[in-house]
């Protein structure tokens, strides 16, 4: 009987998760590879790109064979539809800009995989996320990765302390270039595989086409586009096809480019204005989750209001009912309802929450 510590590695078929499995094997763990199948037959029939790609299973299985580790496939298509895709669609229908990758990590990867790992007697679940987890006596600490360009801690803010205690992220101290070189030297078949872009279940990253297929289009979805004064300046095809900060698909002839400032789902109305009107001095968060003890007094933090936005300085005030307020040191553009705002103290992830809709009172006077 093996005395090695057993770990279940979520293998997507990409270079990152493959190298995670390789590194853990080298470190002496007993590694089991698992791939989540998250597409349905109907999804396959609708998409030329086949959603998240059955090829992922083929690639993961081949890498597992090269490493000499067992590999299993878990069919989680029904759960993925319920926990990730449906909330994604509902978010747009309610005027939000949802972040399905956060939900996928919370509801799928670090809910389904730990259950299976426990049943198999594994002590840890590991993934190819670029993040660092420090296991100390008081509990795990989630910190930014060495490669700041690839850091993925933003997508992990919803995870609880107990989940972190049972996690390993072996890529946290590597850059992407180093990971590819490790894969090449190890002879892994996916070492030069192209990196996936965008949301895995949206074919070609065409959000509009995906949503139109799900919810349809028609006169019942059309509404007004208004300026900051409430004056109608055009019609939209449906609030589901717009997001705060968007410029494409808006009327011209207003003297300067227009951007979506707010979405009113009750009136099915989109409010637009100039770029400088996007800047906000503060925002509120709901459904917050704190991986570390939340502060009892206002605390200076760095915060990311979108994954691909640079971090900014802010003051965090924790409120009741799992809410919080962020006051930005400098006004920030593109603070979109439904996106995650994630707070850090130095490299340590403190926690975060979902951004609430703007009231308009948080707009800053910014000179263009």
Question: What does the alpha-carbon distance between residue 307 and residue 193 come to, in Å, rounded to a whole number?
Answer: 23
For residue 358, list its beta bridge partners: none
**CATH 2.30.30.280 in the chain, residues?**
218-276
Tens digit of pLDDT at every position of the chain (368 positions):
357 899 999 999 999 999 999 999 999 999 999 999 987 655 544 443 444 567 889 999 999 999 999 999 999 999 999 999 999 999 999 999 999 999 999 999 999 899 999 999 999 999 999 999 999 988 899 999 999 999 999 999 999 999 999 999 999 999 999 999 999 999 999 998 888 777 888 877 788 888 888 888 777 789 999 999 999 999 998 999 999 999 988 987 777 899 999 999 999 999 999 999 999 999 999 999 999 999 999 999 999 999 988 999 999 999 999 999 999 999 999 899 999 999 999 999 999 999 999 876 666 666 55
For the purposes of burial, counting CB atoms within 10 Å of the CB of 59, is it exposed (0-12), middle (13-18) or buried (19 or more)? Answer: buried
Closest to 101 (Cα-Cα) out of 84, 89, 87, 114: 84
Given the residues 52, 200, 283, 343, the one annotated as active site: 200
104 is catalytic: yes
Instruction: Give per-residue pLDDT as tens, 195-249.
Output: 877 788 887 778 888 888 888 877 778 999 999 999 999 999 899 999 999 998 8
DSSP 25-73: HHTT-EEEEEEEE---HHHHHH-TT-TT-THHHHHHHHHHHHHT--EEE
CA distances from 271 to 94, 116, 217, 259, 283 (A): 15, 47, 20, 9, 18
Asked if residue 126 lies in contact with residue 7, where contact means CB atoms within 8 angstroms, the answer is yes
52 is catalytic: no
**CATH 2.40.30.10 in the chain, residues?**
279-355
pTM: predicted TM-score of the whole model, two decimal places: 0.91
Identify the CATH homologous superfamily for domain 6-204: HUPs (3.40.50.620)
Pairing outcome for strands 30-37 and 6-10: parallel
- Among the CATH numbers 2.40.50.100, 3.90.79.10, 2.30.30.280, 2.30.130.10, which is that of 218-276? 2.30.30.280
293 secondary structure, DSSP code? P
What is the model's pLDDT at position 43? 54
Identify the CATH homologous superfamily for domain 279-355: Translation factors (2.40.30.10)
Asked if residue 214 lies in contact with residue 88, where contact means CB atoms within 8 angstroms, the answer is no
Asked if residue 19 lies in contact with residue 191, where contact means CB atoms within 8 angstroms, the answer is no
Pairing outcome for strands 280-290 and 124-126: unpaired
CA distances from 189 to 16, 22, 180, 351, 359 (A): 12, 12, 11, 37, 52
**CATH 3.40.50.620 in the chain, residues?**
6-204
Give percent above pLDDT 70 in the chain. 93
Given the residues 43, 101, 104, 283, the one annotated as active site: 104
């Amino acid at each position: 009987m093996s005395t090695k510590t057993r770990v279940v590695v979520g293998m997507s078929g990409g270079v990152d998760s493959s190298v995670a499995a390789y590194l853990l094997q080298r470190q002496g763990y007993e590694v089991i590879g698992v791939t989540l199948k998250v597409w349905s037959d109907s999804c396959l029939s609708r998409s030329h790109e086949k959603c998240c790609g059955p090829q992922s299973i083929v690639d993961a299985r081949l890498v597992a064979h090269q490493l000499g580790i067992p590999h299993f496939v878990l069919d989680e298509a029904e759960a993925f539809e319920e926990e990730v895709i449906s909330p994604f669609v509902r978010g747009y229908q309610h005027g939000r800009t949802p972040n399905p990758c956060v939900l996928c990590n919370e509801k799928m990867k670090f809910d389904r995989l730990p259950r299976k790992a426990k049943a198999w007697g594994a002590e840890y679940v590991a993934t190819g996320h670029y993040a660092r987890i420090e296991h100390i006596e008081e509990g795990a600490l989630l910190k930014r990765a060495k490669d700041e360009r690839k850091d993925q801690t933003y997508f992990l803010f919803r995870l609880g302390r107990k989940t972190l205690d049972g996690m390993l992220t072996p890529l946290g101290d590597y850059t992407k270039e180093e990971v590819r070189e490790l894969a090449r030297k190890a002879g892994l078949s996916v070492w030069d595989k192209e990196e996936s872009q965008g949301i895995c279940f949206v074919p070609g990253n065409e959000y509009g086409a995906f949503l139109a297929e799900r919810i349809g289009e028609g006169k019942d979805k059309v509404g007004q586009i208004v300026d900051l004064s409430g004056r109608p300046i055009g019609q939209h095809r449906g609030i589901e096809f717009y997001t705060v900060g968007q410029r494409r698909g808006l009327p011209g002839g207003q003297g300067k480019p227009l951007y979506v400032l707010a979405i009113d789902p009750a009136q099915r109305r989109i409010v637009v204005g100039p770029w400088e009107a996007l800047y906000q001095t503060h925002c509120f968060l709901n459904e917050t989750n704190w991986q570390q003890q939340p502060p009892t007094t206002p605390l200076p933090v760095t915060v990311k209001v979108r994954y691909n936005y640079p971090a900014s300085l802010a003051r965090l005030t924790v409120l009741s009912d799992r809410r919080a307020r962020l006051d930005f040191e400098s006004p920030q553009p593109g603070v979109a309802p439904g996106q995650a705002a994630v707070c850090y103290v130095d490299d340590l992830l403190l926690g975060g929450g979902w951004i609430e809709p703007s009231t308009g009172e948080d707009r800053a006077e910014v000179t263009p």
